[in-house]
Amino acid sequence: MRIREGGDEVPDNGRAPRRRRGPLAGLLVADFCWMGVGAVATRMLADFGADVVKIEDRTRLDMPRRLPFYKGEVRTYGEEDPNPDPDKGGLFNNYNRNKLGVTIDMRTPRGREIAERLIAKSSVVTENFAPGVMERWGLTYEHLRELCPEVIFARMSGYGHRGPHTEYRSYGPVIQAVSGLTHISGLPGREPSGWGFSYMDNQAAYYNSAAILMALLHREMTGEGTLIDVSALEVGINLLGPDLLDVGVNGAVTRRPGFPSGNRLEHPRAAPHGVYPAAGDDRWIAIAVFGDADWAALVTALGRPAWTDDSRFATQESRCANQDALDEHLATWTREREAHEAMHLLQAAGVAAGAVQNSQDLDERDPQLAHRGTFFELGHPVIGEARFEGSPVLFSRTEQDNWRSAPLLGEDNEYVCTQLLGMSAGEVSELVAEGVL
């Protein structure tokens, strides 16, 4: 048993740190990251054996700790609990599985001293604070090299740490807008729709983890550490390839009458081509017809209703010219059918069709993901059993090392201080009493 802050007994459940397995076993990471863009990047390292020590502040909780996302208890970013149970954050649990967790008050000299001792033992240091935070603590790249000459210092921010916009703060939706991704999304004739999720947080995170792995390979070959500066804005621009090509070669603008074309395909022409309502609440099915053979298969699958004989739908060209009317007829048919039922019916007839799956479908119904073991469960002392998404990459001889769910707040203070930093139990108790840990 261990005692959680507040006096509650919490079963250990085999959560004690152990020797890690995987290609990154033996790698120690001092992780100052928070939110998604940093936490997801270091989660990938932790999944494959690295000892990632997540450094937190008890008085300024990571926002995912304030947002339950599990077993029916859900709140948005605008509804975070001002006085949450810090160990109930489902999003935090997902972002920080397989990591160690310590609390250090970096506003105190003793707190900064402990952090520096941890950095000296580590070979990778990561952070994604607003620019200037690490500098205020004296943790510049030059100082980190004094503590650990071969250190890899991975910095992750919205705009990067060089340039006139370095000081700007950002989150995923901001980067999506500034990079242009928001501008090119939406339906024809409508204002840009934007995206409802911090998509760029996760995309930038994968670039971050890839950069760290490249730096590790470089150090393995040369013995040299490096400073990594990843800009989420530039990651977003990397996703604009087709539009940049269209603008550069064709002189097109990304928003013009009738464009973006929504779910309709421009090249090659296809009709019907779209996402259509299915039976149920917010259920949809995607259907694509590329030529006369596909059209004949669709007509057969629909049971040859009278409207399919309309001269407006006789050729691919005329169907493309009359897509509004065509979509209205097809939507009448799809509304009466469950999405997966309609998908299987159309696919059996040779029509390209797919049910639009929600998260429950992916988790509980998708046979491909089930076969590959994409989702797995880990127990948590407060939340209970929780479901996680695994790595999208499978190796022939390497498995993801899922040793436990996310750390409770300060769960590994004693272990990190005594086992990794060589401090005495008495010294740790003193630091706890002073509020440093």
Judge if 91 and 232 occupy the same domain.
Answer: yes
Judge if 148 and 47 occupy the same domain.
Answer: yes
Judge if 285 and 225 occupy the same domain.
Answer: no
- Tens-level pLDDT at each residue, the chain (437 residues): 343 444 444 445 579 999 999 999 999 999 999 887 889 999 999 999 999 999 999 998 888 888 766 666 666 666 767 777 899 888 899 999 999 999 999 999 999 999 999 999 999 999 999 888 999 999 999 999 999 999 999 999 989 899 999 888 888 888 888 888 888 888 878 888 777 678 888 888 999 999 999 999 999 999 999 999 999 999 999 888 888 888 899 888 888 887 777 788 877 889 999 999 999 999 999 999 999 999 999 999 999 999 999 999 999 999 999 999 999 999 999 999 999 999 999 999 999 999 999 989 999 999 999 999 999 999 999 989 999 988 888 999 999 999 999 999 999 999 999 999 999 999 999 999 999 99
Three-class SS state of 205? helix
Judge if 179 and 209 occupy the same domain.
Answer: yes
pLDDT digit string (tens) for 159-189? 989 999 988 888 888 888 888 888 888 887 8
Expressed as residue numbers, the domain containing 404 is: 28-237+374-434
Judge if 205 and 342 occupy the same domain.
Answer: no
* pTM listed for this prediction: 0.86
Q: Which of 299, 322, 356 is the last residue of a domain?
A: 356
201 is catalytic: yes
Judge if 349 and 394 occupy the same domain.
Answer: no
Indicate whether 105 belongs to any domain: yes
Judge if 351 and 385 occupy the same domain.
Answer: no
Q: The CATH number of the domain where 231 resides is what?
A: 3.40.50.10540
Judge if 161 and 285 occupy the same domain.
Answer: no
Judge if 72 and 161 occupy the same domain.
Answer: yes
pLDDT digit string (tens) for 102-130? 999 999 999 999 999 999 999 999 999 98
For residue 287, CA distances in Å to 75, 399, 402, 434 come to 34, 37, 39, 63
Indicate whether 33 belongs to any domain: yes
Indicate whether 267 belongs to any domain: no
- Contact partners, residue 241, CB within 8 Å, separation at least 6: none
Which member of 201, 327, 401, 412 is catalytic? 201
Burial class (CB in 10 A: 0-12, 13-18, 19+), 72: exposed
Judge if 155 and 288 occupy the same domain.
Answer: no
Judge if 77 and 186 occupy the same domain.
Answer: yes
Indicate whether 46 belongs to any domain: yes
Judge if 106 and 60 occupy the same domain.
Answer: yes
The total of structural domains in the chain comes to 2
